[in-house]
């Protein structure tokens, strides 16, 4: 493909993830976005699709029982001239390292906040990952059709709790029963609310182009119209002006208000999103950053999912393309193994269904089938010269369990199973320096249940757990070997090796961890660890 055609394809890509606390409306908003993209015809299809996928992944009865999806997925749709890749970040009890790692593959994030609840815990955690990576974030304040916090209160909360400057680009007129609509500050027009769950996005509502239009008084009533005009004046004077560079460096978040379920404020959001959110950019890699317009294809694996099809026992690895373009049958270098491989039938993720692809470009996600040779963090490229993308780390686990093997004869199988599951990123495995036991670490507790179920189903190992006396973990390093030896000598009981033999400090609690960090200022405690 010639370079200007490739550049055009890349410039039209928008790859993002939605982050939110459970129940804020992520699924509902996803569905509405897909509706605008023409990817689905009926509201309710995303939930239905999720339900249908349980039937095919019956290896994990947990999924069915709990009505949740253990795995995240990718949906591609076209909106206006843009190709949008939406990456789902698993939320409810299935919150896991995958949720964090999806954010390593996106170029921006959409944060959904329930305006009744304000900023909640999971949003804070996910925002921390966005901040770590300077990922630009757009905010959608949802459920304005219900009573909740005043818009200014929400903005203050976001600024205080998430340490990011807010710039309202839309403004609600009332809330709850009095919710009348959103004023689109980005385009300078008012969209009046017409409730209705099944309403098509383009239908309903009244559009008013100027705040001084007398129609506004007629439709809203004099006092409400005057209040809106007052709010707008106030905002013009007091709100931070939108600065694109500040948004791109994740110092500012544009804020939109609406009601996802009523499809209100969603179009304003999506229109602004495709225009403001960045296309794929250069990515950190060794020995040099890789930019999307480079001719050579390259990409990295951010997620490996087992047994999407239980009949085949295969795994699908999710690859984020970082440069160039992909075509089926292409020969690429599996950089970690130093081996050339053919990628025969990669999968794309058009929202309608998973289908084989003709071509994919930097910014897109493709799925590659494999039998366990691909690990999270692996780099693939058409260039033979060694490159390795960085920034796809392990995240420090917050929950811990000790593994009990019910039948000791299966010890070897247990070790093999745990090694493979750790490589896949399903769980983290630690071996304390003293004792032969396995300590498992996870970001979300469901990972433990999944691990035990998979050990049984895939490795024939009957295992169980006991509580482990830990509440926090950090990988440790020091500039001087002597400093590390001293630290290790005094903290042997709390040290373990992870599955890649990296020294890890397992602490009884977050408080003990802070205390240890204060005591050993020359030791670096890492919250993430890059894959090797």
The residues of the shown chain that bind ligand G4P, judged by CB under 6 A, are: 20, 22-28, 91, 142-143, 145-146, 259-262
What are the structure tokens assigned to 511, written together? Answer: 């408080």
Beta pairing partners, 138: 110
How far is residue 351's CA from residue 284's CA, in Å, rounded to a whole number?
29
Give min distance, CB of 253 to ligand G4P, in A. 18
Complex with ligand G4P: residue 44 or 221, whichever CB lies closer: 44
How far is residue 172's CA from residue 161's CA, in Å, rounded to a whole number?
22
Beta pairing partners, 505: 474, 495
Complex with ligand G4P: residue 208 or 261, whichever CB lies closer: 261
Complex with ligand G4P: residue 192 or 319, whichever CB lies closer: 192
Residue 40: which of 107, 86, 81, 72 has the closest Cα? Answer: 86
Complex with ligand G4P: residue 26 or 401, whichever CB lies closer: 26
Helix, strand or coil, per DSSP, at residue 420? helix
Complex with ligand G4P: residue 179 or 183, whichever CB lies closer: 179
526, 474 Cβ separation under 8 angstroms? yes
Complex with ligand G4P: residue 93 or 157, whichever CB lies closer: 93
Complex with ligand G4P: residue 26 or 283, whichever CB lies closer: 26
Give min distance, CB of 451 to ligand G4P, in A. 24
Give min distance, CB of 123 to ligand G4P, in A. 10
Give min distance, CB of 172 to ligand G4P, in A. 12
Give min distance, CB of 39 to ligand G4P, in A. 17
Give min distance, CB of 132 to ligand G4P, in A. 23
Q: Report the length, in residues, of the chain.
A: 532
499, 422 Cβ separation under 8 angstroms? yes
Give min distance, CB of 28 to ligand G4P, in A. 3
130, 19 Cβ separation under 8 angstroms? yes
Complex with ligand G4P: residue 74 or 403, whichever CB lies closer: 74
Give min distance, CB of 260 to ligand G4P, in A. 4
CA geometry: angle at 39 spanning 35 and 42, to 5°? 50
Helices (H), 210-354: 214-220, 222-238, 244-248, 266-276
| Sign of the dihedral through C-alpha 142, 147, 151, 152 | negative
CB atoms within 10 A of CB 312: 10
Sequence-separated (6 or more) residues with CB below 8 Å from residue 8: none
What are the structure tokens assigned to 195, written together? Answer: 């409730």
How far is residue 137's CA from residue 126's CA, in Å, rounded to a whole number?
11
Give min distance, CB of 70 to ligand G4P, in A. 15
Give min distance, CB of 146 to ligand G4P, in A. 5
CA geometry: angle at 272 spanning 104 and 303, to 5°? 15
76, 351 Cβ separation under 8 angstroms? yes
Give min distance, CB of 92 to ligand G4P, in A. 6
Complex with ligand G4P: residue 118 or 324, whichever CB lies closer: 118
441, 473 Cβ separation under 8 angstroms? yes
Q: Is 311 exposed, middle or buried (0-12, 13-18, 19+ CB in 10 A)?
A: exposed
Scan for tokens 């769980």, then name that residue: 427
Complex with ligand G4P: residue 28 or 305, whichever CB lies closer: 28
Complex with ligand G4P: residue 259 or 420, whichever CB lies closer: 259
Q: What is the crossing angle of helices 26-36 and 266-276, to 10°?
A: 80
């Amino acid at each position: 493909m010639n370079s200007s055609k490739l550049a055009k394809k890349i410039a039209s890509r928008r790859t993002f993830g939605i982050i939110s606390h459970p129940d804020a409306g992520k699924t509902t908003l996803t569905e509405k976005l897909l509706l605008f993209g023409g990817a689905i015809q009926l509201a309710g299809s995303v939930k239905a699709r999720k339900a249908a996928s349980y039937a095919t992944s019956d290896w994990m009865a947990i999924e069915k029982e709990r009505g949740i999806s253990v795995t995240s997925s990718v949906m591609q749709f076209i909106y206006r001239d843009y190709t949008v890749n939406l990456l789902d970040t698993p939320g409810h009890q299935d919150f896991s390292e995958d949720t964090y790692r999806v954010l390593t593959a996106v170029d921006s994030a959409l944060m959904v906040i329930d305006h009744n609840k304000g900023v909640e815990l999971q949003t804070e955690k996910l925002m921390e990952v966005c901040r770590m990576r300077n990922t630009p974030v757009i905010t959608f304040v949802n459920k304005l059709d219900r009573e909740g916090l005043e818009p200014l209160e929400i903005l203050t909360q976001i600024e205080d709790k998430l340490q990011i400057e807010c710039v309202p680009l839309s403004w609600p007129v009332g809330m709850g029963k009095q919710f009348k609509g959103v004023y689109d500050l980005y385009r300078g027009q008012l969209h009046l609310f017409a409730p209705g769950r099944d309403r098509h996005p383009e239908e309903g509502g009244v559009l008013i182009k100027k705040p001084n239009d007398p129609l506004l008084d007629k439709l809203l009533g004099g006092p409400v119209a005057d209040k809106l005009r007052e709010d707008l004046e106030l905002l013009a004077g007091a709100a931070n002006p939108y600065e694109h560079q500040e948004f791109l460096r994740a110092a500012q978040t544009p804020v939109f208000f609406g009601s996802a379920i009523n499809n209100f404020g969603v179009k304003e959001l999506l229109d602004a999103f495709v225009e403001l959110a960045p296309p794929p950019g250069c990515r950190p890699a060794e020995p040099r950053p890789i930019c999307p317009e480079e001719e050579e294809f390259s990409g990295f694996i951010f997620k490996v999912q087992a047994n999407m099809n239980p009949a085949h026992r295969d795994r699908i690895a999710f690859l984020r393309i970082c440069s160039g373009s992909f075509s089926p049958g292409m020969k690429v270098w599996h950089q970690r193994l130093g081996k050339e491989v053919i990628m025969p039938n990669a999968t794309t993720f058009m929202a309608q269904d998973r289908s084989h692809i003709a071509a994919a470009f930097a910014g897109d996600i493709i799925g590659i089938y494999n039998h366990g040779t691909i690990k999270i963090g692996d780099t693939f490229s058409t260039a033979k010269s060694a490159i390795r993308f960085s920034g796809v780390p392990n995240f420090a686990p917050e929950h811990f369990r000790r593994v009990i093997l019910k039948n000791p004869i299966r010890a070897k199988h247990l070790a093999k199973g745990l090694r493979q599951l750790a490589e896949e990123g399903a769980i983290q495995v630690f071996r304390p320096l003293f004792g032969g036991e396995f300590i498992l670490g996870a970001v979300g507790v469901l990972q433990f249940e999944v691990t035990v179920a998979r050990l049984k189903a895939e490795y024939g190992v009957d295992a169980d757990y006991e509580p482990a006396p830990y509440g926090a973990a950090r990988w440790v390093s020091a500039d001087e070997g002597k400093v590390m030896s001293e630290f290790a000598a005094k903290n042997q009981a709390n040290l373990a090796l992870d599955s890649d033999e990296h020294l890890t400090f397992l602490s009884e609690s977050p408080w003990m961890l802070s205390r240890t960090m204060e005591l050993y200022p020359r030791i670096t405690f890492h919250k993430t660890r890059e894959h090797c």
